[in-house]
Amino acid sequence: MKKSTVFDATLLQLPIVHNENGNITAVNQLSEVPFDINRVYYLYDVPGGTSRGGHGHIDLQQLIVAASGSFDITLFDGKVRRTFHLNRPYMGLYMPSGLWRDIDNFSSGAICLVLASHIYDEKDYLRDLNTFIDWKKKYDTPNG
Ligand code: TYD
């Protein structure tokens, strides 16, 4: 969604199977995520003070979960920035394609779990902020 704005991103409450011996959260394609999951990856052992991300995606959709610990995700659509604090393993941030994102403020031991709509493809990345802003401008409508 090349016209996407940060307001198309949504925080989803994922289902919890409660158990006194430990809970389970399952992410099912279609019921919990609105895209086919083709890749799962996770960031871990992130040193304190590190910032990850710093790029946009052209087609990739993602659901991001703090499987452990916490971090902040700041989304940018070329005009507006919106920051989400993820700190629960049953909350997922759905990110449509066409957004820039920065991830920082990682707690010690944080695990950033990402369910993605496509396998890794460097051609899907926009790694320069000004290139991203120019690319978004092409999809601006007269009203907005
Ligand atoms: P990148 O997505 O830029 O990391 P982040 O946004 O977390 O800072 O990826 C960093 C490098 O890792 C990239 O150059 C290639 C490699 N990589 C893969 O090989 N497969 C993957 O699925 C991902 C996400 C990254």
**Ligand 1 pocket test target in 41, 104, 120 with most atoms within 8 Å of CB:** 120
Cα three-residue angle 135-137-139, rounded to 5 degrees = 85
Pocket flag, ligand 1, residue 118 (CB < 6 Å)? no
What is the spatial distance between Cα 23 and Cα 67, in angstroms, rounded to a whole number? 12
Query: pLDDT of 22-81, one tens digit each?
Result: 999 999 988 889 999 999 999 999 999 999 999 999 999 999 999 999 999 999 999 999
Residue nearest to atom 19 of ligand 1 (CA): 120
pTM of this prediction? Answer: 0.95
Q: Does residue 142 register a pLDDT over 80?
A: no
From ligand 1's centre to the CA of 92, what distance in Å? 20
Distance in angstroms (rounded) separating the CA atoms of residues 5 and 136: 10
State the Cα–Cα distance between residues 116 and 113, nearest whole angstrom: 10
- Cβ–Cβ under 8 Å, residues 71 and 86: yes
Cα dihedral 35, 36, 37, 39 sign: negative
pLDDT recorded at residue 52: 96
pLDDT at 14 over 70: yes
Report how far residue 34's alpha carbon sits from residue 56's, in angstroms, rounded to the nearest whole number: 20
Q: How confident is the model at residue 96 (pLDDT cuts 50, 70, 90)?
A: very high
Whole-number Å distance, alpha carbon 121 to ligand 1 midpoint, is 9
pLDDT over threshold 60, residue 143: no
| 55 annotated active-site | yes
CA of 125 from ligand 1 middle (Å) equals 10
Is 41 a pocket residue for ligand 1 (Cβ < 6 Å)?
Answer: yes
CA–CA distance, 139 with 15 (Å, rounded to integer):
35
